[in-house]
Structure 1
Amino acid sequence: MHKTSSRLLALLSLLQVHRDWSGEDLAGRLDITSRTVRRDIDRLRELGYPITTVKGPAGGYRLEAGTHLPPLLFDDDQAVALAVALRTAAAGTTVAEDASRALATLRQVMPHRLRHRVDLLRITAVQPPAAGDTRQVGAQVLMDLSRVIDAREELRFDYAPSSGTSADDPRRVQPHHLVTWRQRWYLVAWDLHRDDWRTFRVERIRPRTPTGPRFAPRQLPGGNVSTFITSRFRGNGGTTIDWPCQGEVVLGLPAADVAPFAEDGVVEELGPRHCRLVLGSWSWTGLAAAIGRFDTDIEVIGPPQLAAAFRDLAARYTHAARATSPETGPAS
């Protein structure tokens, strides 16, 4: 039987799987009695973990979201993956400073074997020449814009002048989308003063409070944000390639994590953990392979050729995995 401290950690690790656990299942997993499970649950609650009791024939427990971030447990692979994501974000994204601080905190508590693996990773972010004047976007501004977009509330903001221009009057818009294009963040919105669609550089936006009334969303020209953005920048200082194969997917990653690796694509924020990516390539197989490098779940929106390319690659990779045995090497 585990000692109390290690048993509490094991119990917490199980509860972090984001599912309901019956008391009997937890007792069986930890090789303890149901009474001990109840006592350990109470100890975790005293430490600040919001564990609720699930009603039902057998009863159970669930770890809920709380009002503050409690200590978390990660297995080795999760810890390394988190460190890699933070180091990537710290190498030139809009949340670089926060990512660096988070990485330092994580590294400090890592066991030596994991710290060594993370320290071997070296990432250098190379920004395209056109983005050399890009100022960093604060995480708070992204959160503020995401909130009003989700709430469908009108937004008032000051818009910092570009070089050589005078300051604009405060803007009043209906915000629709946050997107990245060629290493820059943009807000796509309906400008209520100009009665037209506009794109605003996010690093120049200073939101005002309070926000305005709620509004009914309008239909974007072109039908989707990718068509709208590419049409706006084509021939207007933004180099656009008319790829013969272009597809749309939803990735289980934040937009800020995808944007640095999708320079020629359009990344649209869908939430804190999801984004839409529209990307092009010279072939459907090449496009599927390029999207597959993102280590996350992928939902293909379209077209059917892209889904077929993923199926072909999956079959090819499966065959390659079966043809090579770790013990014997490649099959003869």
Structure 2
Amino acid sequence: MRITTLCMSTTVQRTAVFDRINMEEVNRSIHYRLDASGKAVNAARVLNQLEEHCAFLICPAGMENMDEFVMLAKADGFEASIIPVPGRVRECCTLLEKETGRVTELVMDEPACTAEKDKELIAKAEKRLRNELQKALKKSDALLFAGTTPKIWPEDFKVRVCKSACDAGVVLLVDFWGKELLSVLEVCTPDIIKINAKEFCGTFCKTEIADTEKLIRAVADKSRELNNCIVITRGGDSTIGAFRGKTYEAPTERVQAVNTIGCGDSFSSGFLYEYLKTRAANSDEPDIESALAKGTWCAARNAECEKVGTLYE
């Protein structure tokens, strides 16, 4: 199996562990770790743990500190095309509190590039990225495209990427929402839309739907309308899936959580992997129940680890 993952918000993840965090005091960590991250980076790591060399990662990286990201990516054994762009790789800091089990993530977005020379470099980087993607799609069974796209890239970037994947005939899983997703749907339909309940309601509904049965009906209706698969994760609550209008619901696995950051990305990897596997074995008809179970298992294993986006430390 071969899956291309595309991450436009490449990240250096700093995970710091504390006994307890006191907001009005100096807090010293017990230890901390550095990892290559970003939604599709996390997904690629999990895919490679499910099947060696399964994932091929494409991502831009800010030239000012890209050496650090490249070093971390190499340590994880990524097969990747990392494309230099102006600016910095963004940093995220995960804070884990052992005493309470609480976790939070601080995201420091990369600054926008406004100089004319930067714009020229970004245009060249975009051309290279799209060429790399076209080559990768020819060898891939699927494209997993997840996360935000920084404002340095053209507004229609996601639309053109998704259209390329659909035209190439590969399975397309997207994990983004709102205007970006609606813009894509005006041009093409991803095979799988994986978002959380708040994102689904924010994209397709006028108000948030708190009632599970109403949410299931709404997801089923949208899946039937789009003739695709929609998967809605809900944290510790059951996961809702719909495939061409047929609905599914899968319970989450209860674990002693260490770090829940990256659980959604790990779920996406497991779901897509099993979706492709069962689809190939069953005349292009995926087994959604098995895919939900695999995604749930991957998310649970990630929650048990300090490292973000992984099945094991």
Q: Shorter chain as normaliser: what TM range?
A: under 0.3
TM-score, length basis structure 1: 0.22
Q: TM-score, normalization: structure 2?
A: 0.23
More strand by share: 2
Greater radius of gyration (CA): 1
Q: Which has the higher contact order (CA 8 A, sep 6+)?
A: 2
